[in-house]
C-alpha cells in the first residue's frame, strides 16, 4: 500500500515514516506541501513530492492519505481526499467542530472510503488493558476519574499550538486525548458540567479544566495545560468502591509507563508489553483497510469526541467564530 502525506509535518516522522519503515507491506510514497515538499521528501527518502495538495490527491497510486495539516484544514482536505477515492488517516483533533466532523463522516459514507482519527494511544496494549480492566468491574462502583495531559509549550505568537483560528489551544492539542480516554470507558457521551480556561495572549486556551458527568452519576475531571514549566504527563486515575487505579504515561507508553492498582488494601504494579503506539496504530489501520473491519476511532466516535470538545469550550465561555 502506498501512503501520501498532506503537509510536511514534523509529527509524521515518528507517527508514520518510521513505523512504515519497520514493515515490508507499505511505504510512504509521496508528500505534498505548499512550501517545502521537495526538501522534506529528500530528507526522509520519499519518492515523490508535490507543491499542491490537489496534485497528491490526483496521484492514482496513493491509496491512503495521512492528513497532518493544521486542524483548521482537516475537514476540507479529508473530504477532498475521500472524494478523490483515498482513505484518510487524520491527525487529531479530527476537525475544528462536531459539525465539521459530521461532514467528514458523511463524505466517508458517501464515497465508501474510510476516515480514521489518529488516536494512536488507543491501539496500544496499555490502553486495551485499561479498558478491559474497567469493563470487568473488579474495582466495584466507580466514584470518580481524573484524566490529565500536560506538556510545556510556551506561548509563541502565530504558531499552530497557540493560534485559535488554526485549531490551537490546550484542549484541542492535548485535551482531545483525555476526553477520548474517558469516553472509551463508558457507553454514553458525557455531559459537560463546567469548564474553566487560562488564556494565552492570542485568545487560545493555555490550560483547561473541565468537569464531565456520565450516566449513573459518575463524574470525571479533565485537566490539560501547555503552560511554561509544566511536566510532560499523561495519566488516568480512578477512585472506586474497592480501591484505586493509576495509569501513567498513556500517550507514550513505550517510553516507560506504569499501572498502579490497589484493591481491598492490597497494592499491585504492572506494565504491559508493546511496541510504539504508532506501530500498533499502523497495524490496526492497514488491517482494517484490508478486511473492511470498522475501527473504534472513526465514524460516530470522531463526531462524539468533537461534540464533547465543543461543549467544554461553550462551558468555558469561549466564542468560536468558526463553530
> Could you list the active site residues?
92
Q: Which of 256, 119, 100 is nearest to 174 (CA)?
A: 119
The Cα–Cα gap between 10 and 27 comes to 18
Rg (CA), the chain: 20
Say if CB 143 and CB 239 are below 8 A apart. yes
Tell me the CA distances in angstroms from 220 to 186, 195, 239, 323, one per residue in order: 11, 12, 10, 25
Say if CB 245 and CB 237 are below 8 A apart. yes
Helix 98-111 × helix 74-83 angle, to 10°:
10
C-alpha cell of residue 300: 460516530
C-alpha cell of residue 197: 480556561
- CB count, 10 Å around CB of 268? 11
The Cα–Cα gap between 186 and 268 comes to 24
The Cα–Cα gap between 48 and 71 comes to 24
Task: Output the CA torsion 256→152→206→68 (10° steps).
Answer: -70
Q: Residue 302, preceding bond cis, omega within 30 degrees? A: no
Amino acid at each position: 500500500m502506498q501512503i501520501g502525506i498532506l503537509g510536511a509535518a514534523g509529527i509524521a516522522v515518528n507517527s508514520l515514516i518510521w513505523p512504515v519503515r519497520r514493515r515490508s507491506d507499505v511505504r510512504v510514497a509521496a508528500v505534498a506541501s505548499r512550501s517545502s515538499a521537495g526538501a522534506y521528501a529528500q530528507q526522509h527518502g520519499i519518492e515523490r513530492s508535490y507543491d499542491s495538495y490537489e496534485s497528491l490527491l490526483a496521484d492514482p497510486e496513493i491509496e491512503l492519505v495521512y492528513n497532518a495539516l493544521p486542524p483548521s484544514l482537516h475537514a476540507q482536505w479529508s473530504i477532498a481526499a475521500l472524494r478523490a477515492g483515498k482513505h484518510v488517516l487524520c491527525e487529531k483533533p479530527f476537525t475544528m467542530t462536531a459539525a465539521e466532523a459530521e461532514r467528514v463522516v458523511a463524505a466517508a459514507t458517501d464515497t465508501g472510503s474510510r476516515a480514521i482519527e489518529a488516536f494512536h494511544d488507543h491501539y496500544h496494549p496499555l490502553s486495551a488493558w485499561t479498558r478491559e480492566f474497567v469493563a470487568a468491574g473488579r474495582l466495584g462502583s466507580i466514584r470518580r476519574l481524573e484524566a490529565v495531559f500536560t506538556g510545556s509549550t510556551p506561548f509563541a505568537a502565530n504558531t499552530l499550538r497557540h493560534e485559535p483560528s488554526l485549531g490551537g489551544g490546550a484542549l484541542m492539542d492535548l485535551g482531545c486525548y483525555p476526553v477520548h480516554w474517558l469516553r472509551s470507558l463508558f457507553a454514553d457521551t458525557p455531559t459537560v458540567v463546567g469548564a474553566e480556561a487560562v488564556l494565552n495572549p492570542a485568545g487560545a486556551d493555555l490550560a483547561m479544566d473541565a468537569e464531565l458527568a456520565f450516566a449513573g452519576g459518575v463524574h470525571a475531571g479533565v485537566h490539560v495545560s501547555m503552560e511554561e514549566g509544566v511536566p510532560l504527563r499523561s495519566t488516568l486515575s480512578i477512585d472506586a468502591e474497592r480501591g484505586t487505579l493509576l495509569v501513567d504515561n498513556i500517550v507514550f507508553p513505550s517510553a516507560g509507563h506504569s499501572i498502579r492498582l490497589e484493591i481491598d488494601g492490597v497494592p499491585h504494579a504492572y506494565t504491559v508489553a508493546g511496541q510504539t503506539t504508532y506501530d500498533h496504530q499502523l497495524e490496526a489501520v492497514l488491517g482494517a483497510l484490508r478486511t473492511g473491519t470498522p475501527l473504534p476511532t472513526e465514524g460516530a466516535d470522531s463526531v462524539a469526541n468533537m461534540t464533547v470538545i465543543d461543549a467544554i469550550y461553550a462551558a468555558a465561555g469561549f466564542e468560536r467564530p468558526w463553530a
